[in-house]
Amino acid sequence: MGYAIAEAAVAAGAEVTLISGPTALEPPAGVRFVAIESTAELAKAVKKEFRKTDCLIMAAAPSDFASPKTTSHKIKRTSAGLDLTLEPTVDILRSISELKSDHQVVAGFALETDNGITNARKKLREKNLDMIVLNSPGNATGFDSDTNQVTIIQPRRKPQEWPLLSKQEISGKLIDVLASLLSKA
């Protein structure tokens, strides 16, 4: 979704910075591209860029946990097995909400398999978002699909469930909603 949203924002006349991890997708024409490899790098890049932006759209699905130790060599198999310790990564949207000014709009995405609306509303409040896009996982939606079905959730508003659409159609509609929010900010 991130690449489609960036493309729609450029088409709408926005100045766009796309921060992305490794993918086979080519950055859309007209964006400033920042390549990252990890959740920590994403957090650092978002924080750096956020102060100069009017709108942050966080469509990424960064890892919630990471290993505190890394290695540059192969970990050999042993008969004893392997215990893996993971630590929480930084909650990028929550940390950004502390930096948010009145003129900025922040939108996030949520992929929920249970209690979607309830869990998305909770994220909206906890992360001080202006809007959250609830993804509906299914056969014709998601990461390896050209289509998606989403529900738009904003504070003090009834959720707007959109039908199955192409990611490009959803992106154009999202940019329209965000432009409306920016005009009120």
pLDDT per residue rounded down to tens, the chain (185 residues): 899 999 999 999 999 999 999 999 999 999 999 999 989 999 999 999 999 999 999 998 788 888 888 888 888 888 888 888 999 988 999 999 889 998 999 999 998 888 889 999 999 999 999 999 998 776 555 666 788 899 999 999 999 999 999 999 999 999 999 999 998 86
- Burial per residue of 56-87, b for 16 or more beta-carbon CB atoms within 10 angstroms, e otherwise: bbbbbebeeebeeeeeeeeeeeeeeeeeeeee
In this prediction, residue 146 carries a pLDDT of: 84
Cα gap 94→32, rounded to integer Å: 24
Residue 158: CB atoms within 10 Å: 8
- Burial per residue of 5-41, b for 16 or more beta-carbon CB atoms within 10 angstroms, e otherwise: bbbbbbeeebebbbbbbeeeeebbeebeebebeebee
In this prediction, residue 138 carries a pLDDT of: 67
Q: Domains (ranges, CATH) in the chain? A: 2-64+85-184 (3.40.50.10300)
In this prediction, residue 53 carries a pLDDT of: 94
Instruction: Name the DSSP class of 89.
Output: P
E strand map for the chain: 16-20, 31-35, 55-58, 65-66, 87-88, 105-111, 131-135, 147-148, 150-153, 160-161, 165-166
